[in-house]
Amino acid sequence: MSAPLVSVVLVAWNRRDDVRIVLGKLRRQTYRPIEVVVVDNASEDGTAELVAADFPEVRLIRMPRNVGIAAYNTGLAAASGVYAVLLDDDSYPAPDAISRMVRRFESDPSIGVVAFDVRHVSAEDEESERSTSNVVRGFAASGYTMSFNGAGAGVRMELARGGDFYPAEFFLYNNELDAAFRVWDAGYSIVYDPACVVYHRHSPLHRDSRRAPYYYVRNIFWVVWRNYPCRLAARTTLSLFYRCFYAALEQRTAVYVRAMLDAVRGMPAVLRARRPVALDTVSRMRVAYETFFTFYR
C-alpha cells in the first residue's frame, strides 16, 4: 500500500527570511509524499515572490489581505493530503517528524490531532538540534484532555476539509482551543507525541507581545460562548469578567477591559455560530484561563 499524502500548510506574513529557512528545512523531510501549501497573508516584504521564485514545488496561495488564522482554512481547503501538518512561518519539523506523525495516525483511527513537541531554538542552536525522544503518551492518560499548539500540529484531514477548522473571526490566538473542543466533541482525540518535534525559531521579528493580551482575552470569551453549554457559559463569563477587571487593576492597563468590551460587541455573530459541545467535553478539558492574563508586558 502506498504511503498517504501529507499536506504541510504554512501561513506566512512578512517573514521572508524565516520562510526561506522553513521551506529549505522542509526539503530535508524523510517522509514522502508531501505537498507544501503556503498561504501568504498579503505580505509586503516579498515573501510570496520569494516562494514563487525559489520554491517552485510549493503551492502558493496569495490572500488579498491579512486575514490572520483564517488563512489556514484556505490552505486546508486547497490541500489534498490524508493528513495535514500545520506550521507557523517560523517553525519547521525535525527531519523524521512527519513520518513519526503518520505512524501515530495510522496506528489509531480515533486520533484527530497529533500535537507536536514545539521546541524553541535560537539561530545558533539550529545546527545542533537536540535529538528526539521516544517517549509517547497521550494527554488523556493524565486524566484530563488538552488543546494543542498551532505552531506544530498534525491534523486528520476529514476534520479540516470543511474550511472552518479554525474560527475565522478570531484572527489570532485561542483558535487552537476552539478547534480542540470540536475535535474532542466529534469523538476524536488529541495526543501529544514528544517524538514528533517541531523547532520554533526565535525570530527577531517576534510580534506576539503587544497583540497577545488583547486577542487571547477577547477570544477566550468567544471560545466559551461558541462551545460551552448555556449555564456553564454564563458562569464562566462572570468569572472572566472578574479576571478582566482584576488583571486591569493589577497590571494598570485597559487592554483587558477593551478586549472584554469588544468580545461583548461581537457576541451576536458569535452566538449565531454557536455549537455547544457536551458538558463532559468541557469538564475534561484543561483550560488555563489565568495564563491569558499574563501576556501584558
8 Å CB contact between 275 and 227: yes
**How does DSSP assign 192-234, residue by residue?**
EEEEEEEEEE--TT--HHHHHHHHHHHHHHHHHHHHS-HHHHH
Residue 40 or 88: the one with the smaller Cβ distance to other proteins is 88
Grid coordinates representing 211 are 497583540
Residue 32 or 137: the one with the smaller Cβ distance to other proteins is 137
Residue 284 amino acid letter: R
Residue 170 or 228: the one with the smaller Cβ distance to other proteins is 228
Residue 85 amino acid letter: V
Residue 3 or 288: the one with the smaller Cβ distance to other proteins is 288
At closest approach, how far in Å is the CB of 173 from other proteins? 13
8 Å CB contact between 192 and 146: yes
Residue 45 or 129: the one with the smaller Cβ distance to other proteins is 129
At closest approach, how far in Å is the CB of 183 from other proteins? 16
At closest approach, how far in Å is the CB of 248 from other proteins? 8
At closest approach, how far in Å is the CB of 108 from other proteins? 17
At closest approach, how far in Å is the CB of 207 from other proteins? 15
Say how far apart CA 121 and CA 127 lie, in whole Å: 10
Say how far apart CA 67 and CA 84 lie, in whole Å: 20
8 Å CB contact between 99 and 34: no
DSSP code at position 66? -
**Would you give the end-to-end CA distance of the chain in angstroms?**
53
Residue 36 or 151: the one with the smaller Cβ distance to other proteins is 151
Q: Find cell 516562494 and name the residue.
A: 51
At closest approach, how far in Å is the CB of 225 from other proteins? 9
What residues make contact with other proteins under the rule CB under 8 A?
Answer: 117-122, 130, 133, 135-137, 139, 141-144, 146, 192, 194, 200, 202, 229-230, 234, 237-238, 241-251, 264, 267-268, 271-272, 274-276, 286, 288, 290-291, 293-297
- For 178-211, b/e burial (b = at least 16 CB within 10 A) is bbbbbbbbeebbbbbbebbbbbbbebeeeeeeee
Residue 40 or 89: the one with the smaller Cβ distance to other proteins is 89
At closest approach, how far in Å is the CB of 85 from other proteins? 18
